A and B are shown apart, each in its own frame.
Chain A
């Protein structure tokens, strides 16, 4: 970013909550059903139907609010946001307007082990999701799928505190981690359970007044949010440098073309005619509920990230990877209960185990391998009776079958051969089979011993203790 303009970004994030049922009816809250099968008179907005608030929505939303350091209001209420669209069967969305569930929080943006910015959260409010339109280009017909109607959402609005597209991406990474840790949402952008709109403006560096902002929509991944904002920075800078004025408007990110394009101008902005939802009583939260919710909050990812660096001596990179999910971080700490060397556990977790997870496209919590398995394997390694090559094989076997490493080692006879008597036979065998290499060694090329050791390892399928066998070769051939 050139020093002449400062980028100012604020985000509006919609997050679907992981409740069993929808926010105002008892239809299941599920993704991927056949169109219009997961509906009832209430979420279809049929005449005469009335909403009933699902209390479990409150728990998740309050958890999210507390995790984002917000003040949760003891009084909040629902309002109707009125607008016409075919995916909105009542032609109003039940939302919260002037008394949101929570406000005035913050998210500490951590990078490389330290806080680079405190991003203020202006508000967090509850609302219901709308349905989905499916356009058939060939027939030039649109269909409506109402399944998503009434899925509970929280909208999280940040202050204009982000200063670059990269920071916006980082914010979303942390937000997602927090919401996953707290079990509030599954945050799957591809399924629409996390959606993000961005407001961006530029201002001359060193000034305080906000510039004219543009809202960007239709960004379907964190990467797209960053790319859309990067495009917008360049576009707005060009306008400003040419002495122009940025139009206040809503723009749509076109992923394919890599550009933003005008969607609607300010003069077309909706008047949503918010007013209190008369069908629902206000939400009154008592202190007991709030303190219970506070008490139930797990350790949050920022704290854990910093603690892992501090207590376990992990690098920022390792700490970030290991705390990227709660289950992974739990796995790490549980493994330490069986095998207390954090660096080694970290290496095996982020190295071998990650590789296996990646190839099998699995998550840490849906494999039969447990912290006990990993701890035991590392212990066996320390005993010096298993080569690291074989240890990797054992890990894979454990990963697939859930068998304990000791069991596998015994069953397959994988224990290292360290006995000199046994190894001497192999040494003799190799010397007989590779006279050229022996001659080489005798002629002074001491590196030839490596070749011989390699052959011995091959013959024993890696079970020979490499240190012992090297010594035996040297002794036999004379130093």
Chain B
């Protein structure tokens, strides 16, 4: 077994037992990257080899002295390119921030740095996290390691593909409407969107502030718990961060899940879902029952409002959040402007891609006087109803089980000209963002050689029990250990 194939936990254990060094882990993933990255294209920016190695050496030195800052110290990882890294390009996969280097670190960057993890590079994404395929990156699309003709999902497609292709041991993504869970599902990895307010958004370049959350993308559930433990926690720099006691998520792992009550909302299994996905998820439901879990069908009647509601709230906030990219203070500025209005128009026309512009226009429209009540205000009302749906279900059930995405990875280019079909990729994931509740996607099977993910949604701040549940289920599902086989020419067929 190659070192890079290990989970983050196994790599950490090997470090702990002094079987490997951080330098060896870094060498291993750098080797892997040089082999497969040309076919995956998961990175936007790779940090210089010598810089990474120096960091790894330092961590090895400290470890030799008996000092390690966390269990994951020395483990290589990647950050989605919308998380600020001081002095290191942070582009949001946009031309408008192509040369932007933040003067400060995001909260999660700081946390991972303090934990001694080793940043390998910045992961590709849909521009400003707007998209479900990573085809909206201004630079190049990322390929799905399971089939490089297919998309890895999005917007955290780079983060998911890098983990699936063993180019890093784990990564962080951001999830506004499913941007961690959907690519996790399409790439066969674990992806968690924590409760709104659990992970500080300080230094996460905003798409939709009331929906954005940062979450881990990992090779398995245990890794997810470990990474969450590092990044979760109150931060006074984010006023929406919730002050709570730190939790040990890994301590939940291995506990019995017998007696858990799980709801299966029928609205998530209706039209639009691909048969293979339904089968995969139903198969997992049967396993749950075998594990002594009570599963019942419920109704969440306002689910159909979620997608339109999401595309109004999300775009409205985005239209305001992205207004600052005006060519004045930093980032791209269009050449040849005669006056202020031209500076704005040219900079923003040339600097943003078409999906970003589409959403800015949608959001601007939704907030315009005369339309505000009909669009924005109504979507806030719908949001309340969706939240109530969850509260109702959680009165009687511990967790909710649904598919993560209605279909496995689709072929690149297939949905590019059809934004509405593309938007449907998020149909099962936006609800959790609108309600602020935590949701995780774990791989539950393969459909025609492509991974399928199931989604577990929990009560606010109930990540511990969600992970406990997923950990038990993961063991039974038998997906763990399945790896995409990326061939040298980038065409992948078999599953090892």
Contact = CB atoms under 8 A, between A and B. Distances in A.
Interface of A: 41, 44-53, 80, 82, 84, 86, 89-92, 144, 146, 271, 273-275, 278-281
Contact of B90 (A47, A89, A146): A47
Interface in B284-311: none
A47 B100 contact: yes
Interface of A is mostly: loop
26 contacts: A46-B102, A46-B330, A47-B90, A47-B100, A47-B324, A48-B82, A48-B83, A48-B90, A48-B205, A49-B202, A80-B320, A82-B367, A84-B323, A86-B328, A89-B328, A91-B323, A91-B324, A144-B328, A144-B329, A271-B368, A273-B367, A273-B372, A274-B367, A275-B320, A279-B240, A281-B239
A89 B329 contact: yes
A273 B340 CA distance: 21
Contacts of A48: 82-84, 90, 102, 106, 202-206
Given A49-B202, A91-B323, A275 B316 contact: yes
A44 B316 CA distance: 22
B317 interface: yes
Given A86-B328, A278-B209, A92 B103 contact: no
B376 interface: yes
Interface residues of B, number: 43
A332 to B, nearest CB: 45
A41 B103 contact: yes
A368 B215 CA distance: 63
A280 B239 contact: yes
A144 B327 CA distance: 13
A280 B209 CA distance: 10
Interface of B: 82-84, 90, 92, 97, 100, 102-104, 106, 201-206, 208-210, 236-240, 316-317, 319-320, 323-324, 326, 328-330, 340, 344, 364, 367-369, 372, 376
A279 B323 contact: no
Contacts of A144: 328-329
B113 to A, nearest CB: 16
Nearest to A25: B237
A49 B367 CA distance: 23
Name, among A44, A45, A51, A91, the residue most crowded by chain B CB atoms within 10 Å (CB to CB).
A91
Name, among B202, B328, B344, B364, the residue most crowded by chain A CB atoms within 10 Å (CB to CB).
B328
Contacts of A89: 324, 328-329
A279 B240 CA distance: 6
Contact of A86 (B204, B340, B376): B340
Contacts of B83: 48
Contacts of B203: 48-49
A320 to B, nearest CB: 45
Contacts of A92: 320, 323
Nearest to A277: B209
Contacts of A86: 326, 328, 340
Contact of B326 (A84, A273, A275): A84
A279 B359 CA distance: 20
Contacts of B240: 278-279, 281
A457 B330 CA distance: 77
Contact of B317 (A52, A53, A90, A278): A278
Name, among A50, A84, A89, A92, the residue most crowded by chain B CB atoms within 10 Å (CB to CB).
A50
A50 B239 contact: yes
B205 A47 contact: yes
B210 A278 contact: yes
Name, among B201, B319, B324, B368, the residue most crowded by chain A CB atoms within 10 Å (CB to CB).
B324
Contacts of A279: 206, 209, 239-240
